[in-house]
């Protein structure tokens, strides 16, 4: 009796090709269609683990942690200088869902620098910002604006300590005029002092004190005036 041989059933070739194309584990450099390149770890065909990505169009490079195809964890992002072509660090710190999230340091093109907390790619939480003019703000942030309690130090030594809202002085605060040897304690609304008490302090050592000292306040209790103003401010914002 003749033996009939049936051809073995095989999956179409593209199934095998697809399985071979799936990337998992550590791989050498993989080039995307647009010229971007990635070297590092994969999981289920997604960048996952430690890896380095280079974008062809900008030359930018990210080296750090990945999670299911997105920057997530600790990593550093740099771009090449347009003149020297040397890489300049832009951000080093934590990422969440492909955005800056957690604690990190950002270097701006104009020389400014922020070190602190981030959320959804924006400065949020506690952080310190060094501005180009020499001013330094350290305190609370929300959605890229000074918001909460913070201290702003100016290049001439003057400083403000107190409340902030939407990037402006807002609420109870103190402004120290180091150059004059005076202090203003009061209530600010949208960067404008609405009421307060101005007193001398360290006037003798101030570099540019006023010609005459401030007269002593005798008719009112400064502490009582400020307490009443704070109470009115709090009531209006509750």
More confident residue, 79 or 196: 79
- Averaged pLDDT score across all residues of the chain: 85
* DSSP string over 43-86: ETTEEEEEEEEE-TTT--EEEEEEETTEEEEEEEEEEE-TTT--
> How wide is the angle at C-alpha 35 spanned by C-alphas 30 and 39, nearest 5°?
25
pLDDT score, position 236: 62
Residues with Cβ within 8 Å of residue 232, at least 6 apart in sequence: none
pLDDT-based confidence at residue 198 (cuts at 50, 70, 90)? confident
* % residues pLDDT > 90 (the chain): 63
Please count the other Cβ atoms lying within 10 Å of the Cβ belonging to residue 6.
5
Instruction: Dig out the tokens for 37 from the structure.
Output: 């390149």
> HEC states along 163-179?
EEECCEEEEEEEEEECC
pTM of the full predicted structure? 0.78
pLDDT band at 17 (very low <50, low <70, confident <90, very high): very low
Give the pLDDT score at 72. 98
86-118 per-position pLDDT tens digit: 999 999 999 999 999 999 999 999 999 999 999
Lowest mean pLDDT of 48-52, 56-60, 167-171, 201-205, name the range: 201-205
| CA distance linking residue 164 with residue 24, whole number of Å | 49
Per-residue pLDDT reduced to its tens digit, 66-76: 999 999 999 99
Diameter of the chain measured on Cα atoms: 126
**pLDDT mean over 4-29:** 56
CA separation for the pair 113, 123 (Å, rounded)? 12
Task: Phi first, then psi: give them for residue 18, nearest 5 degrees.
Answer: -65, -40
What pLDDT score was predicted for residue 105?
98
pLDDT band at 219, cuts 50/70/90? very low
């Amino acid at each position: 009796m003749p033996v009939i041989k049936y051809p073995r059933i095989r999956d179409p070739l593209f199934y095998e090709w697809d399985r071979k194309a799936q990337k998992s584990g550590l791989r050498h450099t993989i080039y995307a269609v647009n010229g971007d390149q990635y070297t590092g770890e994969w999981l289920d065909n997604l960048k996952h683990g430690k890896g380095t990505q280079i974008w062809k169009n900008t030359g930018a490079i990210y080296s750090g942690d990945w999670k299911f195809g997105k920057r997530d964890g600790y990593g550093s992002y740099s771009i090449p200088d347009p003149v020297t072509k040397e890489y300049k660090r832009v951000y080093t710190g934590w990422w969440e869902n492909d955005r800056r999230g957690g604690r990190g340091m950002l270097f701006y093109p104009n020389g400014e620098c922020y070190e602190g907390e981030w959320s959804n790619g924006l400065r949020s939480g506690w952080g310190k910002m060094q501005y180009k003019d020499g001013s330094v703000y350290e305190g609370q942030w929300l959605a890229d604006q000074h918001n909460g309690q913070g201290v702003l130090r100016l290049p001439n030594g003057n400083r403000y300590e107190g409340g902030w809202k939407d990037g402006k002085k807002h609420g109870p605060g103190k402004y120290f005029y180091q150059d004059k040897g005076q202090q203003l304690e009061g209530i600010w609304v949208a960067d404008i002092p609405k009421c307060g008490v101005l007193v001398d302090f360290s006037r003798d050592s101030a570099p540019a004190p006023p010609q005459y000292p401030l007269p002593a306040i005798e008719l009112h209790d400064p502490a009582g005036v400020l307490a009443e103003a704070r109470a009115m401010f709090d009531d209006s914002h509750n």
